[in-house]
C-alpha cells in the first residue's frame, strides 16, 4: 500500500506491507535507525517517536495507520548542528551507557515535557504538580534502561524541565 | 570529558549490528523447538517455501556445512536431537522481515518426544562434582575442620538461600548482519562483547581459518555477559547468507533471547556459619547446587566469595551441578560473586542478629589479613574502609537494630548492609599506537558495550602520551584490529589499558609507532590475591497493607584501585546497583516443568527496574593506590556494583519487617506470607 508521511519535516512516500510497523518502516525502509527495536511489543519504549507531537511506541503503530501523519524521530530533535537541550543534557549528565534506550528516552522526554496535568502519582489532581523528580520518574517509566542510567536520566530531564 | 560517542548516541547516528545498510539484504527468522527433549522426525519446509518472498528454509533435513568443532549451542541444524525447548531447529530466509516472520510460522516440525527433566533440586540424583567451575576455579576447597568449628561456636547459622533463573536482557537484542565476498571471506556485524573472540568462534563453527572472518561491533547495546560468547544469530546469518547468496540480517526477538542467549543458573545455596562470642568466625561452609544443559557444562562459581571474604580457621566451599534438558546457562554480570554474595551476605546478617552484633562490626571483626582460600597476601584490600565510610555517610550509627519496629503510616522502614567483592584480573592483549596527521591513533579490538571503553582508553592513551585527549583517536570494535580479550570479567579496561599504555610508551620512544603485546608482562605478575571490595547500604520501605517494597536509598562505597574516569565509573557502579535492585525485588524467570522452556519470555513478564523503582542510588569510592595491578593501578568496576546489592536490600527488608525471605525475588506475596 502506498502511504505518504512526513518524517522530521520531510515528506516521504513508501509502498508498505500492511503488516509492517512504523518502526520497521523507519529502520528498514527509510534508513532512519535512530528509533530502536527492543521488544517489538510495546514493553520497553526503545522505539518511542512523536506522532503528531505525541509520544508513541512505533512498534505498536502499523505503517499504514500513519498515512499523512507527522513523525518526529530522534534524528529530528536537533536543529542542524545545534543539539536539542535534552540531547545536550543527556551528554552532560552521562544519562546513558550503551545508548540503545537513549533515542526512545529522548523522544519520550520531549513528548512528556509537552504533557500537562496530573499523573497517576499526583496527590492533588486539581493543581499542576510540575515536573518534580518523582513526576519525571513516573512519567518516564515506560522507557526501560537496562544499563541503569535512570538516576542520570532524571537529573538530565529535570534540568531541561526547569 | 564526556563520552566520546555521546553525540552519535543522542542523535540516533550510532550504528548497532542490525543497522548497517546492505544492498539486497534478506531477512532470517528462526523457528524454535516446541519440545524439551527428543528427536526431530521431519521438518516440512514446503508451505513456508511457497510463501511470498521466501528464499530458503534451513533445517536438519539439509544440514548446512559446518565444522564438527562448533560450540554445541552454535551447531545449527547439524543434529536431529533436541536438547531444550526453544532451541533453534529451522530458519526461514525471505526478502522482507514480514515475509520471513510469516513463513517461519508455516514451517512444520514433527518430533519424537522423550520425557524431559528441567527441575533443579538439591537432592537431584544427577548431581555431580564438575572438574572446575567457571572460569577455571577449583570446584571444592577446604581447610580446617568445619564440624569442629561449628561445634565450638557460640552462635551458629544454618540456612538455605535460593536464587531463580535470571536473564541478562540487554536492551539491544542479539543481532547480526552477514556478507560473504567473492573470495569467500565472511564479514559479520555482530552484537559482540569481543570481536576477536567472536571471530574465532564463528571461524571454528564454520571450519574457516580465522583470517577469512571479520567481525565488527562498533556499538553494542549492552550485553552483561550474554554477548561475551558468540550467540546463534551470528552463525545463522552467516549460514543463511551463504545459502541465498545475499547479505542476511537477523535480530532475535525478545522472546527468543530468553531461550538462546544464556541466563544465570538458578542456585540453591546451603550455608553453615559459626562464630565465637566476639563474632569471629569459627567455621564457614558454602555449598551451591546449580544446573547446566546436556550440551555444555557451564558451572557457575557461586561459592568463590567465601574463599575471599572473611578470616576463618575452617572453610569449605563446594559446587554441585546437574545436567538438565534446559538451555545452557552462561555469564550474567558477576557470575559467581553475584548470587554467591547474595547468600553469604544474607547469612552474615543472620549471624549478626543471632550473635547480637552490629552487621557492620561483624564484618569488620572478620576482615581477612590474607586471602582465606589460598593464604595469599592481598595486593590491596579496603573492605573495612568501605564499611566505615559507608556507615558514616549513610547515618548507620543512628540505627536501632531491632527488626520490625519503625513505622511511618502504612510503611515499615528498615536499613541493611552487605559487602561487595570482585576479582581484579587482566589478560593478554595487543595494541598499536601510531602518529596520524599530527594526532595519535590507538587501535585495539576492545569493545564498548556501554562501559565507555573508547573514552577510558582515550584518557589512558592521552595520559601516557602526555597530550590532550582531543589529539587521541581510539579505534575499537573490529576483529581486524590488534587482538583483545572480551569486555567481561571486569577486566576490559585493565587488559586493553595495559596494552594501550605499553604501545603509547613505545610510540613515545620511537616517535612513529608503538606495538604492544602484554602476554609476557602478565606472566611476570606476582602471585597475589587481587580483588576490589565494597560495601552497600540500603533503606527500604515496605507497605504493611500491600507488601509493596520501595527502595528509598542505596549507597555503595567501593575500593577499586585508581578510578580511571569518575563519570564513567559512577555510571557503572550505579548501573550495577540498579540491576541488583531488580535482582532483589522483581527479576525471575520461571521454568515450565510440564513442557520445558521458560514461562517468562518478555519484558512484560520479566520485570527489570523502571525509572520509578530507582530513587536515590549513589556510589562513591575510596582513594586506593595499588601498584600490583596494571600500569593504570585500576581494578575492574563493571560488575562489583551488582554484588551485594540484593543482600543489602534483603537485609533491610528483614530489618523493616522482622521477616526473613530466603528466596529471590523478594515479592510482596513473600513479604506478606507470615500473615497467612
Ligand atoms: S520496541 Fe517498541 S516498545 Fe519495545
Ligand atoms: S543506556 Fe543502555 S539501556 Fe539505557
**Which distant-in-sequence residues (6+ apart) come within 8 Å of B40 by Cβ?**
B59, B60, B80, B81, B82, B89, B109, B110, B111, B112
Number of domains in chain B: 4
Ligand 1 atom closest to Cα of A39? 4
Measured CA to CA, the distance from residue B549 to residue B657 in angstroms comes to 11
For residue A143, the CA-to-ligand 2 centroid distance in Å is: 10
What is the CATH code of the structural domain delimited by A2-76?
3.10.20.30
Angle between helices B492-510 and B453-465 (to 10 degrees): 30
Measured in angstroms, how far is the CA atom of residue B305 from the centroid of ligand 2? Answer: 29
Q: Do B222 and A97 touch (CB under 8 A)?
A: yes
Residue B526 touches partner A, C-beta closer than 8 Å: no
- Secondary structure letter of residue B51 according to DSSP: S
Give the end of a domain, one of B523, B552, B587.
Answer: B523
CA distance B78 to B76: 5
Q: What is the model's pLDDT at position B584?
A: 98
What's the pLDDT at A127? 85
pLDDT of residue B634: 98
Cβ-Cβ contacts under 8 Å, A98 against chain B: 170-172, 219-222, 449-450
Q: CA torsion angle for B379, B384, B387, B389 (degrees, to 10)?
A: -90
B463-508, pLDDT tens digit by residue?
999 999 999 999 999 999 999 999 999 999 999 999 999 999 999 9
- Which pLDDT value is given to residue B612? 98
**How high is the pLDDT of residue B673?**
84
Residue where one domain finishes, among candidates B461, B493, B523: B523
Q: Which of B97, B571, B577 sits opposite A24 (nearest CB)?
A: B97
Q: Do A138 and B612 touch (CB under 8 A)?
A: yes
Share of residues in chain B with pLDDT > 90 (%):
99
List of chain A residues whose C-beta atoms are within 8 Å of the C-beta of residue B96: 17, 20, 28
Nearest ligand, CA B9: 2
* CATH number, domain A85-161, options 1.10.150.120, 1.10.40.30, 3.20.20.10, 3.30.70.2860: 1.10.150.120
Q: Is A28 helix (H, G, I), strand (E, B) or coil?
A: helix
Question: Which of B1, B29, B171 would you mutate first to test chain A, the one with the most A CBs within 10 A?
Answer: B171
Say if B508 falls within a structural domain.
Answer: yes
Nearest CB among B3, B11, B602 relative to A75 is that of: B11
B620 contacts chain A (CB < 8 A): no
Could you tell me which residues come within 8 angstroms of residue B162 by beta carbon, excluding any fewer than 6 positions away? B266, B267, B268, B269, B662, B663, B664
**Any idea which residues of B carry the catalytic annotation?**
639
Half-sphere exposure (CA, 13 Å, Cβ side) for B253? Answer: 20
**Nearest residue of B to residue A133, measured between CA atoms:** B615
Please answer yes or no on whether A137 and B612 come within 8 Å at the CB atom: yes
Query: For B2, which of A92, A146, A154 is closest by C-beta distance?
Result: A92
Q: Which domain holds residue B232?
A: 17-115+169-260
B597 and B630, same domain (yes or no): yes
> What pLDDT is attached to residue B258?
98
Task: Outline where B320-358 has alpha helix (H).
Answer: 337-355
Sheet holding B549-559, edge to edge: B407-408, B411-423, B531-543, B549-559, B616-621
The answer to whether residue B584 is domain-embedded is yes
Beta-carbon pairs below 8 A across chains A and B: 176
Closest CA to B419 of B364, B488, B377: B364
Kindly state whether residues B385 and B272 are assigned to the same domain.
Answer: no
Position A105 scores a pLDDT of 98
Ranges of residues in chain B whose predicted pLDDT is under 50? none
Same domain, B578 and B602: yes
Please name which of B467, B457, B482 lies closest in space to residue B568, comparing C-alpha atoms.
Answer: B457
B655 contact partners, CB below 8 Å, separation of at least 6: B401, B403, B404, B414, B415, B416
Nearest CA in chain A to B608: A146
User: CATH 1.10.150.120 region(s) of chain A?
Assistant: 85-161
Could you tell me which residues come within 8 angstroms of residue B510 by beta carbon, excluding any fewer than 6 positions away?
Answer: none
| DSSP annotation string for A85-138 | HHHHHHHHTT--SS-SSHHHHHHHHHHHHT--S--TT-S-TTS-----HHHHHH
What is the bridge-based pairing of β-strands B472-475 and B531-543? unpaired
For chain B, positions 150-179, list CB contacts with chain A under 8 A.
169-173
Distance of CA B110 to the CA centre of its chain: 36
Same domain, B517 and B588: no
A40 Cβ closer than 6 Å to some ligand 1 atom: yes
Q: Say yes or no for a CB contact (<8 Å) between B15 and A33.
A: yes
Q: Complex ipTM, two decimals?
A: 0.98
Domain with CATH 3.10.20.30 in chain A: 2-76
Within-domain flag for B8: no
The answer to whether B210 touches B198, Cβ cutoff 8 Å, is no
Nearest-by-CA chain A residue for B222: A98
Residue B566 is part of a domain; what is its CATH number? 3.30.365.10
pLDDT of residue B112: 98
Q: Is A21 exposed, middle or buried (0-12, 13-18, 19+ CB in 10 A)?
A: buried
Inspect the interface and report whether the beta carbons of B451 and A28 lie closer than 8 Å.
no
Question: Is B256 within 8 Å of chain A by CB?
Answer: no
The reply to whether B364 falls in a domain is no
> What 3-state DSSP class applies to B218?
coil
Question: In chain B, what is the greatest distance between 2 CA atoms, to the nearest angstrom?
Answer: 77
Say whether both B503 and B576 belong to one domain.
Answer: no
pLDDT of residue A162: 84
Question: Could you tell me if B490 and B559 lie in one domain?
Answer: no
Per-residue pLDDT of chain A (162 residues; tens, 9 = 90+): 999 999 999 999 999 999 999 999 999 999 999 999 999 999 999 999 999 999 999 999 999 999 999 999 999 999 999 999 999 999 999 999 999 999 999 999 999 999 988 999 999 998 888 999 999 999 999 999 999 999 999 999 999 998
Q: How far is CA B480 from the centre of its chain?
A: 26
Q: Which residue, judged by its Cα, is nearest atom 3 of ligand 2?
A: A145
d(CA B500, CA B457): 7
Are β-strands B26-32 and B88-94 bridged in parallel, bridged antiparallel, or unpaired?
antiparallel
Considering only CB atoms, A144 lies closest to which of B96, B608, B617, namely B608
Residues of B whose CB is below 8 A from A43: 254, 602-604
A90 lines ligand 2 (CB under 6 A): no
To test the pocket of ligand 1, the residue of A39, A63, A100 to mutate (highest count of ligand atoms within 8 Å of its CB) is A39
Q: How far apart are CA B502 and CA B516, in angstroms?
A: 6
Amino acid at each position: 500500500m502506498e502511504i505518504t508521511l512526513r518524517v522530521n519535516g520531510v515528506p516521504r512516500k513508501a509502498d508498505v506491507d500492511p503488516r509492517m510497523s512504523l518502526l520497521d518502516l523507519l529502520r528498514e525502509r527509510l534508513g532512519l535507525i535512530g528509533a530502536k527495536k527492543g521488544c517489538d511489543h510495546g514493553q520497553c519504549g526503545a522505539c518511542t517517536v512523536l506522532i503528531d507531537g505525541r509520544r508513541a511506541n512505533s512498534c505498536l503503530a502499523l505503517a499504514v495507520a500513519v498515512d499523512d501523519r507527522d513523525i518526529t524521530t530522534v534524528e529530528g530533535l536537533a536543529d542542524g548542528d545545534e543539539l536539542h537541550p535534552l540531547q545536550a543534557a543527556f551528554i552532560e549528565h552521562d544519562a546513558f551507557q550503551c545508548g540503545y534506550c537513549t533515542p526512545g528516552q529522548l523522544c519520550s522526554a520531549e513528548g512528556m515535557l509537552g504533557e500537562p496535568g496530573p499523573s497517576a502519582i499526583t496527590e492533588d489532581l486539581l493543581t499542576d504538580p510540575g515536573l518534580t523528580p518523582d513526576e519525571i520518574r513516573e512519567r518516564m517509566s515506560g522507557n526501560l534502561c537496562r544499563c541503569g542510567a535512570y538516576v542520570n536520566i532524571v537529573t538530565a530531564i529535570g534540568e531541561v524541565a526547569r | 570529558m564526556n563520552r566520546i560517542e555521546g553525540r552519535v548516541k543522542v542523535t540516533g547516528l550510532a550504528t548497532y549490528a542490525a543497522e548497517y545498510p546492505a544492498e539486497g539484504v534478506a531477512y532470517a527468522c528462526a523457528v524454535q523447538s516446541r519440545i524439551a527433549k527428543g528427536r526431530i522426525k521431519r521438518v516440512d519446509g514446503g508451505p513456508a517455501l511457497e510463501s511470498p518472498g521466501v528464499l530458503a528454509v534451513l533445517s536438519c533435513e539439509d544440514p548446512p556445512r559446518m565444522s564438527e568443532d562448533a560450540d554445541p549451542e552454535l551447531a545449527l541444524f547439524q543434529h536431529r536431537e533436541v536438547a531444550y525447548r526453544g532451541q533453534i531447529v529451522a530458519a526461514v530466509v525471505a526478502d522482507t522481515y514480514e515475509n520471513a516472520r510469516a513463513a517461519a510460522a508455516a514451517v512444520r516440525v514433527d518430533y519424537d518426544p522423550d520425557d524431559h527433566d528441567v527441575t533443579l533440586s538439591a537432592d537431584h540424583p544427577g548431581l555431580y562434582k564438575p572438574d572446575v567451575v567457571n572460569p577455571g576455579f577449583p570446584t571444592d576447597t577446604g581447610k580446617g575442620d568445619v564440624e569442629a568449628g561449628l561445634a565450638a561456636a557460640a552462635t551458629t547459622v544454618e540456612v538455605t538461600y535460593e536464587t531463580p533463573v535470571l536473564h541478562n536482557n540487554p536492551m539491544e537484542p542479539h543481532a547480526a548482519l552477514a556478507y560473504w565476498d567473492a573470495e569467500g571471506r565472511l564479514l559479520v556485524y555482530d552484537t559482540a562483547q569481543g570481536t576477536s573472540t567472536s571471530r574465532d568462534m564463528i571461524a571454528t563453527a564454520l571450519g574457516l581459518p580465522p583470517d577469512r572472518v571479520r567481525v565488527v561491533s562498533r556499538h553494542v547495546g549492552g550485553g552483561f555477559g550474554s554477548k561475551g560468547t558468540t550467540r546463534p544469530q551470528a552463525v545463522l546469518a552467516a549460514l543463511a547468507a551463504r545459502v541465498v547468496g545475499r547479505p542476511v540480517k537477523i535480530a532475535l526477538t525478545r522472546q527468543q533471547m530468553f531461550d538462546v542467549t544464556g541466563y544465570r543458573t538458578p542456585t540453591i545455596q546451603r550455608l553453615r556459619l559459626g562464630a565465637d562470642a566476639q563474632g569471629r568466625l569459627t567455621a564457614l561452609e558454602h555449598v551451591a547446587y546449580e544446573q547446566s544443559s546436556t550440551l555444555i557444562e557451564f558451572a557457575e562459581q557461586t561459592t568463590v566469595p567465601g574463599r575471599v571474604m572473611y578470616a576463618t580457621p575452617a572453610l569449605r566451599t563446594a559446587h554441585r551441578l546437574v545436567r538438565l534438558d534446559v538451555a545452557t546457562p552462561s555469564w550474567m554480570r558477576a557470575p559467581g560473586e553475584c548470587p554467591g554474595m547474595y547468600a553469604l551476605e544474607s547469612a552474615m546478617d543472620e549471624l549478626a542478629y543471632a550473635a547480637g552484633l552490629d552487621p557492620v562490626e561483624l564484618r569488620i571483626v572478620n576482615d581477612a589479613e590474607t586471602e582465606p582460600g589460598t593464604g595469599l597476601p592481598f595486593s590491596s584490600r579496603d573492605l573495612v574502609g568501605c564499611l566505615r565510610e559507608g556507615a558514616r555517610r549513610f547515618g548507620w550509627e543512628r540505627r536501632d537494630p531491632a527488626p520490625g519496629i519503625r513505622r511511618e503510616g502504612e510503611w515499615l522502614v528498615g536499613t541493611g548492609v552487605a559487602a561487595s567483592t570482585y576479582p581484579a584480573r587482566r589478560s593478554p592483549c595487543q595494541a598499536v599506537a601510531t602518529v596520524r596527521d599530527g594526532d595519535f591513533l590507538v587501535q585495539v579490538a576492545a569493545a564498548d558495550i556501554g562501559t565507555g571503553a573508547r573514552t577510558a582508553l582515550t584518557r589512558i592513551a592521552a595520559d601516557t602520551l602526555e597530550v590532550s585527549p582531543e589529539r587521541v583517536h581510539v579505534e575499537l570494535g573490529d576483529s581486524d584490529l590488534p587482538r583483545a580479550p572480551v569486555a567481561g570479567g571486569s577486566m576490559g579496561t585493565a587488559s586493553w589499558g595495559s596494552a594501550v599504555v605499553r604501545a603509547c610508551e613505545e610510540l613515545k620512544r620511537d616517535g612513529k609507532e608503538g606495538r604492544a603485546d602484554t602476554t609476557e608482562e602478565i606472566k611476570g605478575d606476582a602471585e597475589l590475591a587481587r580483588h576490589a571490595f565494597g560495601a552497600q547500604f540500603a533503606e527500604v520501605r515496605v507497605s504493611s497493607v500491600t507488601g509493596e517494597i520501595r527502595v528509598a536509598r542505596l549507597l555503595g562505597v567501593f575500593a577499586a584501585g585508581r578510578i580511571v574516569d569518575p563519570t564513567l565509573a559512577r555510571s557503572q557502579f550505579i548501573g550495577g546497583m540498579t540491576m541488583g535492585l531488580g535482582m532483589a525485588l522483581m527479576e525471575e524467570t520461571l521454568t515450565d516443568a510440564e513442557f520445558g522452556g521458560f514461562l517468562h519470555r518478555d519484558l512484560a513478564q520479566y520485570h527489570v527496574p523502571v525509572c520509578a523503582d530507582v530513587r536515590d542510588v549513589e556510589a562513591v569510592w575510596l582513594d586506593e593506590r595499588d601498584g600490583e595491578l596494571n600500569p593504570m593501578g585500576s581494578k575492574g568496576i563493571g560488575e562489583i556494583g551488582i554484588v551485594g546489592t540484593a543482600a543489602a536490600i534483603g537485609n533491610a527488608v528483614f530489618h523493616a519487617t522482622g521477616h526473613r525471605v530466603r528466596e529471590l525475588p523478594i515479592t510482596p506475596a513473600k513479604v506478606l506470607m507470615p500473615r497467612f
